[in-house]
Chains A and B, each alone.
Chain A
Amino acid sequence: MTLPIFSRAAGRIGAALLLLVLGTAGASAQQAQKETPPAPGVPKDFSIPSPTKFTLDNGMKVTLVPYGTIPKVTVDLAVLGGDASEGADQVWLGELMSSWMTEGTTTRTASQISQATARMGGSLDVTVGPNSTRVTGDSLSDFGPEMVRLVADVAEHPSFPESELARLKADQVRQLSIAKSRPQQIALEKFRSVMYPNHAYGRIFPTPEMIQGFTAAQVRAYYEASVGAARAHLYVAGRFDPAPMESAVREAFGGWKAGTPVSFPPPPASPRSARAIHLIDRPGAPQSTIILGVPVIDPSNPEYVPLLVTNTLLGGYFSSRITSNIREAKGYTYSPFSQVSVRYRDGYWAQNADVTTNATGPSLKEIFYEIDRLKKEPPSADELKAVQNYMAGVFVLQNSSRAGIIGQLEFVDLHGLPDDYLSGYVRRVYAVTPADVRRMTQKYIQDEKATIVVVGDKKMIEEQLKPYGTISR
């Protein structure tokens, strides 16, 4: 729940800041004195512009949010289920279904779908997350109702043309081999499998053989079982005419079969994390990829926001303690980050870092040091205030887009959060005290039970790791 400051956006922010710096340098050559920048504004509560909500007879929920000044509209159909619905022998079956859905409907070919999308100045994607499959259309506002009809058609009437299946499976095998060439993905796969044994959340990747074995009948059966109105929620955000939009939604989705309501697999049994190091050898690796984590609460717990504040201060933003320590002070790594990663009724806290090979052990030492320090003494009020200002500012910024608003609404609906979760978020962030941060660390960041995954050059790092836990392979 933080800005993706370490991702590709970071490069763009960097580029934009560079422009600002260059601009300032030019100006200061002419002006002797630099102007003091204005003080930042007071953080405001986030409020969603009055949505229209209704439920169709088949159970599909609808939320229409008029938003923004840009003449575009996003139509997002969230169907609950997602990866959590896949069995042990069905990893990425949902992804295969999703890519196949845009290959044709009973009345449109794939090329008609993509031509229609292009004509609307839009995009249409079907994506799978841990708890939902989403059919997302984005278009110029002129075409809002038409995009609703296209999203409905793809969701309700996929034709699953068999001629395309072999190619889509080959695409998946390629994606798999690209993903598994990346140490972060290898580490995540191991981390999840340790944290979630025999559970859908623990299965990140299929094998190539599993993909090749998927049949058309399996995908169709999966679609029949996991896609339907009773587990769907349509979100529309952007600029649109409310009345024609509502009637387009009612018409396009009113006749959709209800299907089976969603039921998520129960959360994995606890305890599911014990202090141990899982070492994956990557001979010659110049860096070690570390994931160190523990199970925590999910967003339905009232202490979730205080935990988010604690995470941000500990490792979740650029000025956080772990980042300041292992990046700024020690220079072990470039882009470490910690996160609270959540799924339905499940969450874990994890610190991630790619560190220089010879700093693998020292990095663990510093990460544990920072966790222990926060358990022993609360942060200063100033340090916490900076975290709160950052979180409040980022929350409003990241919600100020069609996709941002829809993402937040889906989050609230999935986790069954109270109506004031979004409007009261900024207030709840500021209500957290230094003592709360210490208590959250003690209660939830139980590093004595941390699961540690390291992907790196075994012969270089094994000795370094020994002080921090039993090494299992």
Chain B
Amino acid sequence: MQKNGLTGDVTGGINEDLGNMFNINGPTLWIASLFHDPDKSPDAILKVFDAEIERVRAAPVDQATLDLAIVKMRSRLYDNIEGFFGFGRADLLASFALFNDDPGRINRLEDEFRRVTPDLLWKTAQEYLRPTNRTILLVEAKAPAKPAAAPGPEKKS
């Protein structure tokens, strides 16, 4: 997206804005969002999205790519545990107590992620990142209001 000049930044993730990818159990959303210039069409942006998503759906990623994802995951997990003024750890303990009756799962979460294989990731992408499964929301700026649309004569100011 950046290299194509379509946007400066893409944000998103699993269960973003409601919580994080670790404190959810059940249906949730994977979301990506960005701002684009009016002269860049949503279709051009979706084309780049689709090409990237198709890469993980077409074939299993190599182990090196998966290892990289695990490093990023660990880093985010630690940030979440420490974050939110220290409540992050309590939040995760509470989540695992609620969902699994097992707050100690916080200690095993890293290992659970390490068990993900390229094959599992591939199957997951095929199942969930289907183009037919998604919703696209476009927020467009309104055209500027025309002064002439106001009823009655207007004084010039």
Contact = CB atoms under 8 A, between A and B. Distances in A.
B19 A139 contact: no
A68 interface: yes
Contacts of A139: 75
Contact of A15 (B18, B35, B145): B18
Nearest to A123: B75
Interface residues of A, number: 33
B86 interface: yes
Interface in A58-102: 68, 70-72
A70 B83 CA distance: 11
B101 interface: no
Contact of B8 (A11, A171, A181): A171
A140 B145 contact: no
A178 B83 contact: no
A283 interface: yes
What interface size band does chain B fall in?
Answer: 20 to 34
A174 B18 contact: no
Contacts of A175: 8
B71 A174 contact: no
- Among B19, B72, B86, B98, the most chain A Cβ lie within 10 Å of the Cβ of B72
A68 B86 CA distance: 11
A56 interface: no
B70 to A, nearest CB: 9
A68 B82 contact: yes
A121 B71 contact: yes
A193 interface: no
A120 interface: yes
A119 B68 CA distance: 6
A72 B87 contact: no
Contacts of A9: 84
A12 B72 CA distance: 22
B37 A174 contact: yes
Contacts of B19: 12, 15
A225 interface: no
Contacts of A182: none
Contact of A170 (B5, B18, B83, B98): B5
B8 A12 contact: no
B71 A167 contact: no
A19 B94 contact: yes
A271 interface: no
Interface in A323-353: none
B4 to A, nearest CB: 9
Interface string A26-59: 0000000000000000000000000000000000
Interface string B1-28: 0100101100000000111000000000
A398 B86 CA distance: 9
Nearest to B87: A16
A16 to B, nearest CB: 6
Contacts of B94: 19, 23
Nearest to A177: B37
A164 to B, nearest CB: 9
Interface of B: 2, 5, 7-8, 17-19, 35-37, 68, 71-72, 74-75, 78-79, 81-87, 91, 94, 98, 141, 145
Q: Which 7 A-B pairs have the closest CB atoms?
A: A121-B75, A171-B8, A121-B71, A397-B85, A70-B82, A167-B5, A70-B78
Interface of A: 3, 9, 11-12, 15-16, 19, 23, 68, 70-72, 118-122, 138-140, 167, 170-171, 174-175, 178, 181, 283-284, 397-398, 400-401
Given A138-B75, A401-B83, 17 more contacts: A9-B84, A11-B17, A12-B84, A15-B19, A16-B87, A16-B91, A19-B98, A23-B94, A23-B98, A70-B81, A119-B71, A139-B75, A170-B5, A171-B7, A174-B35, A175-B8, A398-B85
11 contacts: A3-B85, A9-B84, A11-B17, A15-B18, A16-B91, A23-B98, A72-B79, A118-B68, A121-B74, A401-B85, A401-B86
